[in-house]
């Protein structure tokens, strides 16, 4: 179960809240990218980045030079999976079917070498399952430029909207088509690096992603 705190309680649309930890895992694992909210020099920023979950820890990574990845400041990581456009009979009831998760907390900079590698592996394999074992592992130089952050899944909220529109009862008989346009993120045909110096046959771990939908 996710414990609701003052900060993660939904003030509106409470019926969209989910409190099962499995729902949190589902959104975090399903969403390809996240947005990191962080205050930099007094300004709130929402920065797109990649993430991965191992157990009850969410990992992020970035350059050691990134001002957004400094230690000790509170962040919010939001993963949003768009599932559909909701077409209502009245303008204001148009909506977005989606799953979203917000994780709040102060990330820890990961120093342990094994945990750093595990986190980077999880991030690469989150994007392309099975990829890590096929590529060159990070060198000491690679690792020196990379910061890894760990955020415990202690304080989080999950919101899920599904189904058709929630129109006003008095609009039910309007002659307006209402319903949902489903949305999926779809992987197209693999494009081999045009700058390649050697030809490598398409491996199975890449081929199986073509046509995959999220």
- Residue ranges in 155-184 that form contacts with a second copy under rule CB under 8 A: 163-165, 171-184
Is residue 14 a contact residue for a second copy (CB under 8 A)?
A: no
- Residue ranges in 116-155 that form contacts with a second copy under rule CB under 8 A: 120-121, 124, 127-128, 131-132, 134-139, 142, 145-146
Measured from the CB atom, is 66 or 109 closer to a second copy? 66
Distance CA 44, CA 214 (A): 29
Measured from the CB atom, is 104 or 150 closer to a second copy? 104
| Least Cβ distance, residue 55 to a second copy (angstroms) | 21
For residues 104 and 155, is the Cβ–Cβ distance under 8 A? Answer: yes
Is residue 114 a contact residue for a second copy (CB under 8 A)?
A: no
Interface with a second copy (CB under 8 A), residue from 51, 89, 116, 147 = 89
Tell the burial category of 118 from Cβ atoms under 10 Å away from its Cβ (0-12, 13-18, 19+).
Answer: middle
For residues 112 and 39, is the Cβ–Cβ distance under 8 A? Answer: no
Measured from the CB atom, is 109 or 143 closer to a second copy? 143
| Least Cβ distance, residue 64 to a second copy (angstroms) | 10
Residues, the chain: 214
């Amino acid at each position: 179960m996710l414990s609701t705190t003052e900060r993660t309680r939904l003030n509106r649309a409470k019926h969209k809240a989910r409190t099962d930890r499995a729902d949190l895992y589902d959104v975090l694992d399903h969403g390809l990218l996240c947005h990191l909210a962080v205050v930099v020099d007094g300004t709130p920023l929402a920065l797109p980045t990649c993430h991965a979950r191992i157990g009850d820890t969410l990992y992020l990574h970035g350059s050691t030079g990134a001002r957004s990845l400094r230690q000790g400041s509170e962040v919010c990581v939001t993963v949003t999976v768009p599932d559909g456009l909701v077409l209502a009979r009245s303008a204001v009831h148009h909506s977005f079917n989606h799953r979203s998760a917000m994780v709040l907390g102060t990330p820890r900079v990961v120093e342990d070498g094994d945990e750093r590698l595990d986190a980077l592996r999880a991030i690469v394999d989150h994007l392309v399952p099975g990829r890590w074992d096929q590529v060159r592992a990070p060198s000491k130089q690679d690792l020196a430029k990379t910061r890894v952050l760990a955020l415990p899944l202690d304080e989080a909220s999950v919101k899920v909207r599904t189904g058709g529109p929630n129109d006003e009862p008095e609009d039910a008989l309007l002659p307006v088509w209402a319903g949902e346009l489903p949305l999926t993120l779809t992987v197209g045909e693999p494009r081999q690096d045009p700058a390649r110096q050697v030809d490598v046959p398409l491996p199975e771990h890449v081929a199986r992603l073509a046509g995959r939908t999220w």
